[in-house]
């Protein structure tokens, strides 16, 4: 039995006719997806292209300094790490 996980684009067709996509953690047993985490994922959107655009924008966050919340949510400052 070979178990592992990775990230996959997951599409959901909601009862109200809306469709959404999320990048989810997906768990496998014997190379077959058996479980996933829905609704707590970093990325979601209305299409695969929307996810790709969002991922590109999110990846740029790593090119900039970390921001830290200061004093009772009064503002943000850059942190030098």
- Read off the pLDDT of each residue in 58-78 and give the average, rounded to a whole number: 75
Q: Is pLDDT of 3 > 90?
A: yes
Average pLDDT over residues 7-21: 84
pTM above the 0.75 mark? no
| pLDDT at residue 65 is higher than 80 | no
Q: Mind spelling out the 3-state secondary structure of the chain?
A: CCEEEEEEEEEEECCCCCEEEEEEEEEEECCEEEEECCCCCCCEECCHHHHHHHHHHHHHHHHCCEEEEECCCCEEEEECC
């Amino acid at each position: 039995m070979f178990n592992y996980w990775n990230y996959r684009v997951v599409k959901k067709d909601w009862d109200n006719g809306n469709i959404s996509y999320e990048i989810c953690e997906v768990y496998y047993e014997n190379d077959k997806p058996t479980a996933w985490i829905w609704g707590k994922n970093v990325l979601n959107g209305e299409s695969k292209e929307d996810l790709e655009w969002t991922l590109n924008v999110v990846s740029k966050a790593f090119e900039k300094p970390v921001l830290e919340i200061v004093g009772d949510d009064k503002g943000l400052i850059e942190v030098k790490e």
